[in-house]
Amino acid sequence: MKTTETSPAPAAEPLPHEVKAGRSGAGPGEGGWRGRGRVLNAFSHGVLVLWAFMVVMPLLWAVMTSFKDDDAIFSSPWSLPDRLHFENWSRAWSQAHMSDYFLNTVLVVAGSLAGTLLLGSMAAYVLARFDFPGNRFLYFLFIGGMSFPIMLALVPLFFVLNNIQLLNTLHGLILVYIAYSLPFTVFFLTAFFRTLPTSVAEAALIDGASHTRTFFQVMLPMAKPGLISVGIFNFLGQWNQYMLPTVLNTEPEHKVLSQGLVQLAVSQGYKGDWSGLFAGLVMAMLPVLAAYAVFQRQVVAGLTAGALK
């Protein structure tokens, strides 16, 4: 996670508004506060570097700690490890069940992400493109779910799931993830489908395609950028989900990553295996951070898209 290495490259790239800078002569009034600008510049760099340090430091510290032995973690938390204790990682992976937690998370997120995108785009398409009685009501019913405290519903939901034999199962968790991802997905995709031109879909219908075929073969491919954004949003939300599995999925073998780590923190506390816990934490952190580093632009677009609408 060598974040500092990325700094020269983006900095060299001109920012959109810097490009305009070389256009005309000196701007009016510029000379007057050039000195003040320098002070502001130095100050802003200082503050920005400090916060960057505060954000990156704990993460680097966790990586470093995961390579130390337990004695060193407690006696000198800030010193470098004496050697790289890779055994922490293998211990966490196999004995502490990190591999199981990973597998469960991958299964649940794969199922729920696919389901969310499919069901969400179907509902959003109908709500965005068809006029029928109750359209507005259903739309607000869906998006209303965004502002309600989920915990309130989880109390009865626990017993509903228990009655239909879905409590503590992975497929039950998948269905719950889909249901609770629908409000934002429908909200986002409805807005997106509204922006797409109607003429293409009309042409397809005139050519004899059914509504269903038009949706899957014409509209979905056109909605790809929206699906990617909302897909990234849901992927991170579901991968990192903590509250839903904590309440609805308490079976030890079915635990997902975030729960598994908390479980690990509790049990390793008794065993005193803190190095194993840190290895587990870093193991869970790295794939997401690596994916973010690679798909940085898309992730940021996906996560901020909803709020900018």
Residues in region 104-123 near another protein by CB under 8 A: 119-120, 122-123
Told to check if 234 binds another protein by CB under 8 A, we report: no
Q: Least CB distance from residue 255 to another protein, whole Å?
A: 11
CA separation for the pair 72, 252 (Å, rounded): 31
CA separation for the pair 41, 50 (Å, rounded): 14
| Tokens encoding 141 | 């019913």
Q: Which stretch binds another protein (CB under 8 A): 74-82, 91-99, 192-200, 223-231?
A: 74-82
Of 44 and 94, which has the nearer Cβ to another protein? Answer: 44
**Position among 44, 90, 99, 217 found at the interface with another protein (CB under 8 A):** 44
**Position among 43, 86, 95, 203 found at the interface with another protein (CB under 8 A):** 43
Told to check if 147 binds another protein by CB under 8 A, we report: yes
Q: Which amino acid is located at 46 in the chain?
A: G
Write the binding mask 157 to 176 for another protein: x where contact by CB under 8 A, - elsewhere.
xxxx--------------xx
45: number of Cβ within 10 Å = 10
Told to check if 63 binds another protein by CB under 8 A, we report: no
Told to check if 228 binds another protein by CB under 8 A, we report: no
Q: Least CB distance from residue 231 to another protein, whole Å?
A: 15
Told to check if 48 binds another protein by CB under 8 A, we report: yes
**Position among 210, 217, 225, 253 found at the interface with another protein (CB under 8 A):** 210
Q: Which amino acid is located at 298 in the chain?
A: Q
Told to check if 136 binds another protein by CB under 8 A, we report: no
Q: Which stretch binds another protein (CB under 8 A): 88-96, 106-114, 151-159, 189-197?
A: 151-159
Q: What residues from 9 to 28 belong to the interface with another protein (CB under 8 A)?
A: 10-11, 13, 15-18, 20-28
Told to check if 221 binds another protein by CB under 8 A, we report: no
Alpha helices, DSSP H, located in the chain: 8-12, 16-19, 34-65, 70-75, 87-90, 98-129, 135-144, 150-163, 170-195, 199-206, 211-214, 220-222, 224-239, 243-248, 257-271, 274-294, 296-308
265: number of Cβ within 10 Å = 13
193: number of Cβ within 10 Å = 21
